Amino acid sequence: MHYLDHAATTAVLPEAARIACRVMTEQFGNPSSVHKMGIEASGILETARREVAALMNAEPSEITFTSCGTEATNLALSGACRRKGRGRHIITTAIEHAATLNTVRRLEQEGFEVTYLQPDSSGHISVDDLRAAIRPDTALFTCMLANNEVGTQLPVREFGAVLKKRAPEALFHVDAVQGLARIPIKPKLWHADFISVSGHKIGAPKGVGALYIRKGVHIAPLLFGGGQERGLRPGTEGLPGIAAFGEACRLRREQMQENYSKVEQLCALFRAGVEARFPWAVYNGMSDIPHVVNLSFPGCKSEVLLRVLEMRNVYVSSGSACARGKASHVLAAMKLEHARIDSALRVSFAPSNTQKDVEALLDALEEGTKRLRRA
């Protein structure tokens, strides 16, 4: 199998799976129980929190565990905006993940006014556009660190500086789901109040995420219950997933540079192969991180090409996995023509990929594009 769809999800790291299994079968206490097993479980929870915090350059007390990146973003945006006394204006970008866009749309229905910053044709968002959009009643600006479809990196440091200068009361949320363990997370440098991350993009199981909440920032919870996670995310903690997430963060932190170089080399190899074998292919957006590359093979519908690749055990994606066949809103916002959007493939690498995976992908693309261009 040649899996090159790591922006959709990743395999669980064996070390993380081992810990999850141990927590499910042996150390299965409830962190809220006061007996020995509960205390042991609480220790596992706090160890994981320290590891996530370390990878995010944050304090453990600033990390709240959630069920996924989507929940972390919902908690940040809804929690921040529903607080009394805040302005009614939100700024975001047109290239956000559905987790952000649909939460913001919901807030729009509740009476918030939203400004959507538009990307240029390379998928970048300008700092000047943010500056121009800020108003005295801006309550929140939310944007991603790295785009999941085209791999652009947004200038969050500059965004944070401009936001806090023009609207010091406004809160800043960064969706770092695709950036974690790839790009260093710098909450203070970015002036970030909230940062969402997700376990399954970095080798932890699905069903665990986290939200960084800057010390001193208070938000309203989405759920009500037993007071876990300082009342912000009540419900018995999903400890197997959380423990595995902590372990994945520890490993990713130790190997971050080495992993980045590996992915960079794989991406360069792929690009060289594309140049040599498909000089007619066009790249969509400028992928600033080597983990995500988006390109179109004109004349080859991506849904069909995907099936041909799949028959050769090669797995990539046609845009974002969450969009499930819908035309990409990111490529549409970049104003690419329909035929290009219709033939766009997203290839996303992980350090576990090898040269063989890249070669298999190039061979499968050769077969697929020949077949489809002839048809």
What's the start-to-end Cα distance of the chain, in Å?
27
> Under a CB-based contact definition with an 8 Å cutoff, are residues 4 and 348 in contact?
yes
For residue 149, the minimal CB distance to ligand PLP (Å) is 8
Q: Of residues 230-269, which lie at the interface with ligand PLP (CB under 6 A)? A: none
- Given the rule CB under 6 A, which of 174-182, 239-247, 251-259, 311-319 is the region that contacts ligand PLP? 174-182
Task: Verify binding: residue 70, ligand PLP, rule CB under 6 A.
Answer: yes
Q: Which is nearer to ligand PLP, 42 or 92 (CB)?
A: 92
DSSP 90-138: EEEETT--HHHHHHHHHHHHTT-EEEEEPP-TTS---HHHHHHH--TTE
Measured from each CB, the residue nearest to ligand PLP is 69
Cβ within 8 Å of residue 14, ≥6 positions away: none
Task: Verify binding: residue 198, ligand PLP, rule CB under 6 A.
Answer: yes
Task: Verify binding: residue 322, ligand PLP, rule CB under 6 A.
Answer: yes
Task: Verify binding: residue 75, ligand PLP, rule CB under 6 A.
Answer: no
For residue 67, the minimal CB distance to ligand PLP (Å) is 8
Q: Of residues 335-374, which lie at the interface with ligand PLP (CB under 6 A)? A: none
- Given the rule CB under 6 A, which of 63-71, 154-162, 257-265, 349-357 is the region that contacts ligand PLP? 63-71
Task: Verify binding: residue 52, ligand PLP, rule CB under 6 A.
Answer: no
**Cα Rg, the chain, nearest whole Å:** 21
Q: Which helix (H) or strand (E) holds 37?
A: helix 36-55
Q: Which is nearer to ligand PLP, 324 or 374 (CB)?
A: 324
Active-site pick, 21, 81, 300, 322: 322
Nearest to 175 by CA among 235, 240, 284, 98: 98
Nearest to 75 by CA among 168, 171, 161, 179: 171
| Residues recorded for the chain | 375
Give the angle subtended at the CA of 191 by the CAs of 186 and 194, to the nearest 5°.
80
> Under a CB-based contact definition with an 8 Å cutoff, are residues 203 and 11 in contact?
yes
Nearest to 64 by CA among 250, 194, 205, 173: 194
- Mark 200-229 with x for binding to ligand PLP (rule: CB under 6 A) and - for no binding: x--------x--------------------
> Under a CB-based contact definition with an 8 Å cutoff, are residues 42 and 31 in contact?
yes
Q: Which is nearer to ligand PLP, 93 or 148 (CB)?
A: 148
Secondary structure of residue 184 in the 3-state scheme: coil
Task: Verify binding: residue 154, ligand PLP, rule CB under 6 A.
Answer: no
Task: Verify binding: residue 69, ligand PLP, rule CB under 6 A.
Answer: yes
Task: Verify binding: residue 144, ligand PLP, rule CB under 6 A.
Answer: yes
For residue 148, the minimal CB distance to ligand PLP (Å) is 3
For residue 274, the minimal CB distance to ligand PLP (Å) is 23
For residue 375, the minimal CB distance to ligand PLP (Å) is 32
Active site residue 21: no
What's the Cα-to-Cα distance from 166 to each of 94, 223, 353, rounded to whole Å?
22, 33, 44
For residue 151, the minimal CB distance to ligand PLP (Å) is 11
- Mark 84-123 with x for binding to ligand PLP (rule: CB under 6 A) and - for no binding: -------------x-x------------------------
Task: Verify binding: residue 178, ligand PLP, rule CB under 6 A.
Answer: yes
Nearest to 195 by CA among 318, 24, 76, 365: 76
Provide the 10 A C-beta neighbour count for residue 282: 14
Secondary structure of residue 375 in the 3-state scheme: coil
Q: Which is nearer to ligand PLP, 237 or 368 (CB)?
A: 237
Question: Which residues are catalytically annotated?
Answer: 322
- Please give the residue ranges that form the binding site for ligand PLP (CB under 6 A): 68-70, 97, 99, 144, 148, 175, 177-178, 198, 200, 209, 322
